[in-house]
């Protein structure tokens, strides 16, 4: 059960700002909580939702208005259990871990509750309607656009709380309509077996010091092979989850629509997972920069790669290692444009100093 806001002592700055807004009755209609720990973001989001509809809230010492939840009343308990009629949690679903349009707007395959049914109806028990979107960066294109329309003209006494460990993947127009609160805490992104296995191989090859063009293309080739396999796996996942698998005979127009939706879903998921490979590489290059700067391995994200990190870091100046990080950040930005993937990766990875 989430604890009251005041007990999140490691997030004092964020909590103080929220409680000040609550105490002065100046709460925003939409918040974007960002940080490394999605679980903590969710707990603070639930604590804020509890406070908004608490039956026995703690008052602000300056204004007397509610600034924290009691955590014990019926409303608080319902919010903690996500059974409060004026509170809703929206999370990614399906094999592709996406928040789909059917979770925002009623569709034939929608879950029992959808977000629009919460926000566009009158509150049942509480004073506020609160929507908590966990991993909001997983909104697919249609769902993101539907949410954006709601954020542009939000219903009264409705609060949206978006949570994301990767806010750069949200639409700029969604981010611009939210008050962004960044949570403290170091932490590192968690990677899957596929990304880690590839990174281990990449770091080992880089440590061998093959600096000619052929050696660089070998390093790039390992990534391209992984991305090709990834793309194929994603297309199979999308095809298996598609309604085309359940309905063999459908009108040509509807079939074309579903096929286009499959293509869009495949591309969005591929870009999402491709970014994980580059994020893993960026984490390791940061370890190399730490080594080149003489800061040791205490802050390393991948201590198990210490041997490779030390070999590469010993060959580079801090400036060269820092330039690697800037190159990769630039590559990631370029990949969000219409530049061909191969060209973007060649422009970035072949310039790395290893």
User: Residue 58 in 3-state DSSP?
Assistant: strand
Q: Both 68 and 123 in a single domain?
A: yes
Residues 107 and 201 placed together within one structural domain of the fold: no
> Are residues 229 and 305 both part of a single domain?
yes
Asked if residue 167 belongs to a domain, the reply is: yes
Give the model's pLDDT for residue 188.
59
3-state secondary structure of 229: helix
- Among 106, 110, 174, which Cα is nearest to 139's? 174
What does the pLDDT read at residue 50?
Answer: 94
Domain boundary among the residues 182, 206, 239 is at 182
In a domain, 13, yes or no: yes
At 13, list the tokens: 């700055």
Query: Per the structure, how many domains does the chain have?
Result: 2
Assigned domain for 126 exists: yes
- Tell me the β-bridge partners of 162: 32, 133
- Is 285 found in the same domain as 207? yes
User: Residue 50's domain is classified under what CATH number?
Assistant: 3.40.50.300
Tell me which residue of 99, 92, 54, 59 sits closest to 74, measured CA to CA. 54
Query: Are residues 208 and 155 both part of a single domain?
Result: no
Predicted local distance difference test score (pLDDT) of residue 97 = 81
Is 14 within a domain? Answer: yes
- pLDDT value of position 187: 55
CA distance 250 to 247: 7
| pLDDT, tens digit (0-9, with 9 covering 90-100), for 168-181 | 888 889 999 999 99
> Taking a C-beta distance cutoff of 8 angstroms, is the pair 181, 34 a contact?
yes
| Integer angstrom CA distances of residue 214 from 209, 210, 224, 309 | 12, 8, 15, 22
pLDDT in the model for residue 269: 81
Q: Of 134, 156, 182, at which residue does a domain stop? A: 182
Question: Does residue 148 share a domain with residue 14?
Answer: yes
Query: What residues make up the domain containing 11?
Result: 5-182
219, 206 contact by CB (below 8 A): yes
Asked, for residue 76, whether it belongs to a domain, the answer is: yes
Q: Which of 182, 213, 229 is the last residue of a domain?
A: 182
Rounded CA gap, 85 and 123, in Å?
8
CA 74 from chain centre, in angstroms, equals 32
In angstroms, how far is the first alpha carbon of the chain from the final one?
Answer: 48
Judge whether 328 lies within some domain. yes
d(CA 351, CA 347): 7
Is 27 inside any structural domain? yes
Query: Do both 251 and 110 map to the same domain?
Result: no
Rounded to the nearest angstrom, the gap between the alpha carbon of residue 327 and the centroid of all alpha carbons in its chain is 22
Please give the structure tokens belonging to residue 172: 């700029």
Residue 298, number of CB atoms within 10 A of its CB: 7
Q: Is 98 left (phi over 0), alpha (psi -120 to 50) or beta?
A: beta
Say if 187 falls within a structural domain: no
Low-confidence ranges of the chain (pLDDT < 50): none
Residue in 165, 240, 219 with CA at minimum distance from that of residue 345: 219
Alpha carbon distance 244, 259 (integer Å): 8
SS3 160: strand
Rounded CA-CA distance 38/92 in Å is 13
**pTM for this entry:** 0.69
244 and 334 assigned to the same domain: yes
3-state SS, residue 115? helix
- For residues 53 and 75, give the distance between their C-alpha atoms in angstroms, rounded to a whole number: 7
How many Cα atoms occupy the beta-carbon half-sphere of 249 within 13 Å? 0
> 215 and 344: one domain?
yes
Kindly state whether residues 230 and 210 are assigned to the same domain: yes
pLDDT digits (tens, 9 = 90+) for 5-46: 888 888 888 888 898 888 888 888 999 999 888 888 999 999
Phi and psi angles of residue 334, each rounded to the nearest 5 degrees, phi first = -65, -35
Residue 235 and residue 324 in one domain: yes
Which residues face 172 on adjacent strands?
none
Residues 150 and 249 occupy one common structural domain = no
């Amino acid at each position: 059960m989430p604890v009251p806001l005041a007990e999140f002592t490691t997030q004092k700055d964020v909590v103080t700002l929220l409680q000040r807004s609550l105490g002065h009755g100046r709460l925003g209609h939409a918040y974007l909580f960002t940080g490394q720990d999605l679980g903590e973001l969710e707990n603070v989001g639930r604590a804020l939702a509890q406070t908004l509809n608490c039956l026995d809230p703690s008052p602000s010492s300056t204004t007397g208005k509610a600034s924290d939840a009691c955590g014990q009343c019926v409303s608080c308990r319902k919010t903690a259990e996500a059974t409060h009629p004026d509170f809703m949690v929206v999370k990614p679903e399906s094999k592709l871990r996406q928040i789909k349009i059917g979770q925002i707007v009623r569709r034939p395959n929608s879950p029992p509750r959808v977000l629009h049914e919460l926000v566009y109806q009158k509150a049942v028990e509480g004073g506020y309607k609160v929507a908590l979107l966990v991993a909001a960066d997983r909104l697919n294109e249609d769902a993101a656009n539907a949410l954006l329309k709601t954020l542009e003209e939000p219903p009264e006494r409705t609060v949206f709380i978006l949570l994301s460990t990767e806010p750069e993947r949200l639409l700029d127009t969604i981010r611009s309509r939210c008050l962004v609160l960044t949570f403290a805490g170091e932490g590192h992104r968690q990677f899957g077996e596929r990304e880690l296995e590839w990174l281990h191989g990449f770091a080992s090859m880089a440590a061998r010091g093959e600096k000619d063009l052929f050696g660089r293309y070998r390093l790039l080739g390992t990534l391209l092979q992984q991305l090709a396999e990834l793309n194929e796996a994603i297309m199979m996942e999308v095809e298996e989850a598609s309604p085309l698998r359940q309905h063999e005979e459908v009108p040509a127009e509807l079939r074309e629509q579903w096929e286009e939706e499959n293509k869009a879903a495949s591309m969005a998921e591929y870009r999402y997972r491709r970014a994980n490979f580059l994020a893993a590489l960026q984490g390791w290059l940061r370890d190399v920069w730490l080594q080149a700067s003489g800061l040791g391995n205490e802050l390393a994200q991948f201590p198990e790669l210490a041997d490779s990190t030390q070999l590469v870091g010993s060959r580079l100046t801090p400036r060269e290692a820092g330039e690697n990080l800037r190159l990769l950040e630039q590559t990631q930005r370029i990949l969000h444009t219409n530049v061909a993937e191969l060209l973007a990766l060649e422009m970035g990875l072949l310039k790395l100093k290893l």
